[in-house]
Amino acid sequence: PCRAPSQVTCHPASRTGEVDVLVAEENVDFRIHVENQTRARDDVSRKQLRLYQLYSRTSGKHIQVLGRRISARGEDGDKYAQLLVETDTFGSQVRIKGKETEFYLCMNRKGKLVGKPDGTSKECVFIEKVLENNYTALMSAKYSGWYVGFTKKGRPRKGPKTRENQQDVHFMKRYPKGQPELQKPFKYTTVTKRSRRIRPTHPA
């Protein structure tokens, strides 16, 4: 007979006479768990550093870190539009720094986008979200629900006035002009000896 504590469920095995004990599912919202894990700092994994531009869907230009001022008016290849992006956890939290000015993109408590010389504050950490339309949105790690966003003229929108489904907060990652080799850090496919031997088949 199955004798197990009340918090577990017993299922007798079909032939072996053994008993499979399954722990009952706890009443936990998995989405909250995922969000909490996403926000948790990861100080063990090696940080990834990438260089790219963020093309604004609304302004048709790129985010610029102009010292303390932030805009989305940068042309392709503009030196102020080249961003160093450091992965803060296992892939979704990032810190974004202007390569030219070395100021970080941050969002203050009023929801205003500002540049700061020191990026250690949580106000300078954003959660990358890849949307269904393949654009990327950047939500503040400190102020949940507030996003990096710009108007058609490239002016920053305040966090409280942004929503994930607004085009104002949609961005596309682009590599700086003349630097295609920077695509390499984005590829995480593991190449094995076996996969190297596979050749594409051609129709007869």
| Full set of structural domains in the chain with CATH | 49-185 (2.80.10.50)
Q: CA-based diameter of the chain, in Å?
A: 74
Q: Are 92 and 128 in contact (CB under 8 A)?
A: yes
pLDDT tens, position by position, 9-44: 444 544 444 444 434 444 455 566 555 554 555 444
Burial 153-166 (b: 16+ CB within 10 A, else e): ebebbebeebeeee
Half-sphere exposure of 166 (CA within 13 A, CB side): 20
Confidence (pLDDT) at 17: 47
CA distance 108 to 148: 11
pLDDT tens, position by position, 62-120: 999 999 999 999 999 999 999 999 985 555 899 999 999 999 999 999 999 999 999 99
Confidence (pLDDT) at 91: 57
Structure confidence at residue 191 as a pLDDT band (50, 70, 90):
very low
Task: Return mean pLDDT, the chain.
Answer: 78
Q: Provide the percentage of residues in the chain whose pLDDT is more than 90.
A: 57
Tokens of 77: 């290849």
